[in-house]
Amino acid sequence: MEPILELRGVVKRFPGVTALDAVDLEIAPGEIHALVGQNGAGKSALIKVLIGAYIADGGAMRFLGSPYHPRTPLDALVAGIRVVYQEFNQLPYLSVAENLLFERLPRRFGILLDRETLERRATELLNRVGLSIAPGTRVEHLGIAQRQLLEIAKALSTTGRLLVLDEPTATLTPREVARLFEIIRGVRASGVTVIYVSHHLQEIFELCDRVTVLRNGHRIETVAVAETSATELVRLMVGRRLEAAAHAIEVAASEAGSAAPPTLEPALRVEGLRVRGSSHGISFDLNYGEIAGLAGLVGAGRTEALRAIFGADRRDGGEIYLAGRRVAFNHPMDAVRHGVCLLTENRKDEGLVLPMPLRVNLTLTDLARVSRAGILRARTERATARHWVEQLDVRFRSLEQTARELSGGNQQKLIIAKWLFRNASVLMLDEPTRGIDVGAKAEIYTLLRRLAADGKALLVVSSELPELMVLCDRIMVLSRGRLVGELRRNEFDEERILSLAYSEYMTGKKNPDP
């Protein structure tokens, strides 16, 4: 039987990164085909190439037996490919019905909006996904799970031949997941093929026919779900040994020497921390002089924990202690005043003031150090800013250049520089080397190790396991909001870490291991 979709040698490159490296893939008509892989494996890049959001740099695709080369998402839509993204693509101030049928609003006489037909069609789509809300409800008033089901209903609103679902159950309750599976099976029965991306391995075994494993931009293997196990899939996702990338990172960081041994003097202690939507409390210690890592899959609660500690998001419970004293950070400024700083993963919206100059972005965290009697000393500000941007090798034309004009990697280095200037005692870093080349990574690793050697306490979140294994003294693993394990340096093993990260996703009514 001819595949409905065929990829041969598909390549997608970005500066310094090969997201897809000669990927071959065949999707059989009428199957539910799973895509799995750890963070950064290439799943999202493959989907975006498939729908024309990215243009492939090499290789060929065929869809429905004909050459397929989408240049825009509209090309994919016209061809019959529908996608439900992990991130919502909605207009919050419009109604549910208007969001569902925005591209084909029914008209009377070709001009006037036919609201009766609009609400009738919207109601049919909402019923199809089991969503009991009024079509006239504005999307901004919906909950996260309702918005997820709305995205699925929108994808089903037009006839397609291939439906791609990217982490569709991330925000759904077990009852809603069961309903979604009924919908997916019904979609397949109607002749639509499904590509299903999920971290939840038990869902793969319950729903899918075949599964393709991606790792570091490569297709590792495609197997029948009935002929594999969760343990085998985890092994395929990580490989039996560290990837070459880990070796490259070790070489790049070698000049930094080994991390300083922790002083075992507690800097930060978190007890029973609960973030919004989580019923589990997280407890851990962070010592002065150490670098501790938080590992886990997307959605495990790593970023949420850092933001709750920093006071950027409200926590639902738990206590925070700094140097043995209980503290309450109700706002990020409270944390900063106590010497606790966060390098956010969203650098453009939360890490920088993009329209302002480099010098302002860097010194804004502690204006008192570049001022006298409340008056800014311009010469001191410029000298301070120049010192730190040169320390981190930020590529810039002028200190008056705006942060918006910097490349992504240089923006990230500028954020690190501003907190180093602040001289925090506890530094939390969320994806600190995202978008940074190997050479710049080595510089950042050296700085982080130096900070630890100087007695700072560092808590690092990274989706790159080799990075955490090279950088950290110990790694704590989160899975679906739970702290499921902690490993010391002599216990580090990529397969073991990822098995822990998937542990809460492999539990359920059906045991995925035969």
CA distance 336 to 472: 23
106-137 pLDDT, tens digit per residue, is 788 777 878 888 888 888 888 877 777 888 88
C-beta atoms surrounding 398 within 10 Å = 10
What the block records as the tokens of 433 is 């080397």
pLDDT tens readout for residues 251-265: 544 544 444 444 457
Structure confidence at residue 390 (pLDDT) = 86
Torsion over CA: 179, 212, 83, 86 (sign): positive
- Report pLDDT for 173: 65
What pLDDT does residue 461 have?
92
pLDDT tens, residue by residue, 33-80: 999 987 678 888 899 999 999 999 999 999 999 999 999 988 998 899
The answer to whether 336 and 365 have CB atoms below 8 angstroms apart is yes
Residue 222's DSSP bridge partners are 212
Q: Which residue has the tokens 């979609």?
A: 187
Number of residues that this document lists for the chain:
514
Top mean-pLDDT range of 153-162, 295-304, 368-377, 505-514: 368-377
Instruction: Identify which has the larger pLDDT, 244 or 488.
Output: 488
pTM value? Answer: 0.61
Residue 324 burial (CB < 10 Å; 0-12/13-18/19+)?
exposed
pLDDT bucket at 277, cuts 50 / 70 / 90: low
Instruction: Please name each of the domains of the chain with its CATH number.
Output: 5-240 (3.40.50.300), 241-339+424-503 (3.40.50.300), 346-423 (no CATH)
Question: For the ranges 65-79, 136-150, 278-292, 353-367, which has the lowest average pLDDT?
Answer: 136-150
Examine the pLDDT at 85 and tell me if it is beyond 90: no
Rounded distance between C-alpha atoms, residue 119 and residue 101, angstroms: 10
What mean pLDDT value characterizes the chain? Answer: 83
Model confidence at 505, pLDDT cuts 50, 70, 90, reads low
Q: Inform me whether the pLDDT recorded for 348 exceeds 80.
A: no
**What is the spatial order of strands in the sheet that 58-63 belongs to?**
17-27, 5-14, 58-63, 66-67
Nearest-angstrom CA–CA distance, 235 and 221 = 11
| Residues whose CB is less than 8 angstroms from the CB of residue 381 and which lie 6 or more positions away in sequence, other chains included | 359, 363, 370
Which residue, chain included where needed, has tokens 């190790």? 449
pLDDT above 90 coverage of the chain, percent: 32
pLDDT computed for residue 247 by the predictor: 47
N-terminal to C-terminal alpha carbon distance within the chain: 29
Structure token pair of residue 331? 């706002």
DSSP assignment string, 138-167 = BGGGS-HHHHHHHHHHHHTTS--SEEEEES
